[in-house]
Amino acid sequence: MSNETEVFLIPESSRAHSSSRGAALPSEYSQGGTQSVPTRRIRVLGVPLDLGASRRGVDMGPSAMRVAGLETRLEALGHQVVDGGNIRVEIAETQSIGRANARFLAQIAETCTRTAEAVAQALEDGMTPFVLGGDHSLAAGTVSGVAEFYRRSQQKIGVIWLDAHSDINTPETSPSGNVHGMPLAALLGLGGDSELASLGRIFGYAPKIAPENTVIVGVRDIDSAERDNLRRVGVGAVYTMREIDERGMRTVMEEAVRIAGEGTAGYHVSLDMDWIDPEDAPGVGTPVRGGATYREAHLAMEILADHGRLLSFEIVEVNPVIDEHNRTADLAVELACSAFGKKIL
């Protein structure tokens, strides 16, 4: 790890899309031959949150990815990596569940507020935030932090949501009451005056993201009420696995980065490991057959690296309790390396 001060040089082609601080595109190219994009200063933040899901174990996801060599493998690409440690999370057994249709929502909102503040600070310090989860409810915090940072310079962000699920339930529509199925709804302002508003109004305003710059890729398990929510809010694009099958991952991802990037400073990428087929990623909380293959997932990450407009990144829902020899965490680290520029030749 390195704590040296670094001066950022933003390529002319990128200046129109980047603020002068935060996730401005980093400075110099690696000479090692395995890195295809400018190097970055990355701050890793763990959020060992498992209050948003029924199945326990994803709180160990950040540790599993660290054990899989995340820091070393990113540094081998020429990036400077600083591990910012873990965000404080309450232990489920010490807390009141609250209402059955939004279990542990108050505690999740507190965790997401702490996450948002840490993410915004990373950007203020000129670093790219990389958040390790934890269940997907933490995305309300990550995205809020990124959106707040760019809002200060009158810019907005896009979001690319890679997930088997659309995560756009509200307490009124959720069949389980698990908040990890609600973060996108909160970020898009669907909380209204309900208790979900506390998750969506971190920093005091909502919505955090515009639906026209929000893209969901790879869904294959959507609750009936979520379909209505998707239509009502007008999400920019929703690509099911059928569309990936028929049109190919490259076409879908090229469209996704265009939609998420149009008129924005860039985009946050939220990768739920259940987006990948459980044959390749067995250690996830809510596996669904028929997901992205190993190579499709890497191609998606490589396309993100090619475009160079990644503002922040998170990987969630790694569950070592049900994994096989840390396979899923190891794949998560591989995919992170591809997203941050690793290439084959």
Between CA 318 and CA 10 the distance in angstroms is 34
**5-9, 41-45, 69-73, 198-202: range with lowest mean pLDDT:** 5-9
Please write the tens of the pLDDT for every residue from 12-27. Answer: 333 333 333 454 444 3
Between CA 229 and CA 219 the distance in angstroms is 15
- Between these two residues, 18 and 55, which has the higher pLDDT value? 55
- Average pLDDT for residues 59-74, to the nearest whole number? 98
Q: Which residues are catalytic?
A: 136, 163, 165, 167, 180, 272, 274, 317
Q: Report cis status (omega within 30 of 0) of the bond before 134.
A: yes
Burial-class residue 6 by CB neighbours within 10 Å (0-12, 13-18, 19+).
Answer: middle
Between CA 28 and CA 6 the distance in angstroms is 10
Please write the tens of the pLDDT for every residue from 252-277. Answer: 999 999 999 999 999 999 999 999 99
DSSP string, 258-274: HHHHTTSS-EEEEEEGG
Please write the tens of the pLDDT for every residue from 153-182. Answer: 999 999 999 999 999 999 999 999 999 999
